[in-house]
Each structure stands twice: as structure tokens, then as C-alpha cells.
Amino acid sequence: MFTSLKRVIRSGWQGFFRDGGLSIATVFILLLTITLATSLFLFHGLSHLLISSVEEKADISLYFKEEALENDIFEFREELARISEVKEVKYISQEKALADFTEKHKDNPVLMASLAEVGRNPFLASLNIIASEPGQYQAITDFLETSDFTALIEKVDYYQRRSVIERIFSLTSTINRSFIFLSIILSLVAILVTFNTIRLAIYNSREEIKIQRLVGAGSWFIRGPFLVQGVLAGILAALICLLTFSLIIWSLSPRVETFFTDLDISQFFVTNLWQIILIQFVTGILLGVISSFLATRRYLKI
């Protein structure tokens, strides 16, 4: 058995390099398919990070009157945190709001002069509220308007930001639906193209398969070399794809961060490197093997 396996592997190895043109075509098609699979994974992961970053900015702010005591604000925060619609509540004191404003606008002399002219801290203590679901901000606002702590509230900015919040979540929902549809269509196209390319490569060996069948060779002995060639093509395509994506991510990362400061694609790539490698090699090897298996079945029946 070991001798037969060795012969199958050697035959597949020799056939892969003997039919150089067809092997290159197979590797190229598998490379495109693996690239597609990797791109879909990266697009989904990066878009999820970007969407999460945008959604975190889709919050509402609750501002308290100057006379509101900090202990009362903390008590109100605990009450809000217990509501199922609320995902996160962040307290920003007057001092923190002033410090954040000063840090953000320290290079703007006009704003700094205006702030100095006021002569006091003009900012109010506030709670930043992030909802668990996009449609729950209205329910949270209704709760705020009927709460026992309403007397402490100066204003809630939900109605000023409502249209922006709704547009953000409408956009993210559209992106998610489009991604699912695109993934299904492109995956089916890639599988069909890969299968037909490998079937065309095996078509040139149909006479050899017939002769082996006539002299009594078993199905697995005939099919084995083609499966080995499928594995080799998949491995080579995965290696090329991994190298290509590494270079692309390395070169694009600084440019992307210029436009999306919260999106570090190089860090995402490194963090998910083993998943990416697994996706590339599994996609390449499985497609190569399955396509070779199905493509040889027709000739083994003759």
C-alpha cells in the first residue's frame, strides 16, 4: 500500500510539472478563488470594525443642570445601566469635558481666547448613552423624559441627532445585506470556474485514463495523481495569495489610516493571520481536490 501511495504521489508530482501550461492555468484560477475568499473575509472583518466604530459614535448625550449633585448623577447612571435597551453609559464630568475641549482645540487661538474670556467652566456634566439596538434610542429618550431624575436634566440631544443616527444604522444594515448577497454569488461563480478549469486540464489526459482503465488499474490509482496535482496547485496558489496580501496590506495600511483613523488594517491582518492562512490553504486544497475528484469521475466510468 505504501509503495502504491508513493507511486501515486510521484506520478502526480511529475504530471504537475510536465503539464506546465495547464498547471499554471489551474494555479491562476485557484489563486483568483482564494483571493476572493480572503477578500470576503477581510472585507467582512474590516467593515465590521468600521461599522462598530461608527455605531459607537451614534450615541445620545444627556446634560445635567449645573446644580445637579455628582452622587445623584451616579445614581441615575446606575438606573440607566439596568435598562435592557442601554448598552453602555459613560459619565463625563465638567472638568473632563473642559479638558477634552482644550486638548482638541489647543491649536485654535480664537476658541482658546473665547474660553478664557468666559472666565469659568462653561461645560455641563453629561452621560453618553449607547443603545443595544439602533431602534431603541427613542425608547431610552422616552424613559429619560418620565424618569424621577427629570428635574436634574438640562437637555437631551437625541432629537438634534436623530436623523444622523438613523442614517448611520440604515447604511450599516445595507452594507451587511449587500455583503451576504455578494458573498453567495461570487462564491458560486468561483467554484464553477475552478471546477471547469480543472476539468479542462484533466480532459487532455482522457486517453491516458482510458488506457490505465483497460489494463486494469484501479479507480483510486488512476484518480490519485490528479488529486495530488489538485493539492499542489492549491498549496502553491495559497502561498502566492498569502504573500500578495501581505505586501498589499503592508503598503496600503498607512494610506487607509489617513482616511479612517480607527481602522488599522495591518493590525487586523496580523491578529487574524492564522485564520487567513487556514482559509487560504483550506480553500485552495479543498477546491483542487474536490474539482479533480469530480472531473475524473466522468472518465473513470468509460
What digits encode the pLDDT tens for the residues 105-126?
778 887 777 777 777 878 888 8
Same domain, 129 and 246: no
Task: Tell me the average pLDDT of the chain.
Answer: 76
Q: Is the pLDDT of residue 70 over 70?
A: yes
d(CA 80, CA 180): 35
Same domain, 128 and 249: no
Q: Is the pLDDT of residue 149 over 70?
A: yes
Range of the domain at 138: 59-162
Same domain, 139 and 110: yes
Residue 104 belongs to a domain with what CATH number? Answer: 3.30.70.3040
Same domain, 19 and 79: no
Q: pLDDT band for position 294 (50/70/90)?
A: confident
Q: pLDDT band for position 229 (50/70/90)?
A: confident
- Lookup: cell for 275: 485564520
Q: Is the pLDDT of residue 159 over 60?
A: no
Same domain, 45 and 118: no
Q: Number of structural domains, the chain?
A: 2
Q: How many residues does the chain have?
A: 302
CB 204 within 8 A of CB 22: yes
In the prediction, which pLDDT does 21 show? 72
User: What 8-state DSSP symbol labels residue 159?
Assistant: H
Q: Per-residue b/e over 192-219, b at no fewer than 16 CB within 10 Å?
A: eebbebbbebbeebeeebeebbeeeeee
In the prediction, which pLDDT does 85 show? 81
pLDDT in tens, 23-64: 787 788 888 888 888 887 887 777 777 666 666 666 777 888
Same domain, 139 and 196: no
CB 284 within 8 A of CB 238: yes
How far, in whole angstroms, is CA 288 from its chain's centroid? 25
Q: At 96, which amino acid appears? A: K
Same domain, 82 and 199: no
Q: Is the pLDDT of residue 100 over 70?
A: yes
d(CA 61, CA 127): 6
Residue that terminates a domain, selected from 162, 181, 213: 162
Q: pLDDT band for position 211 (50/70/90)?
A: low
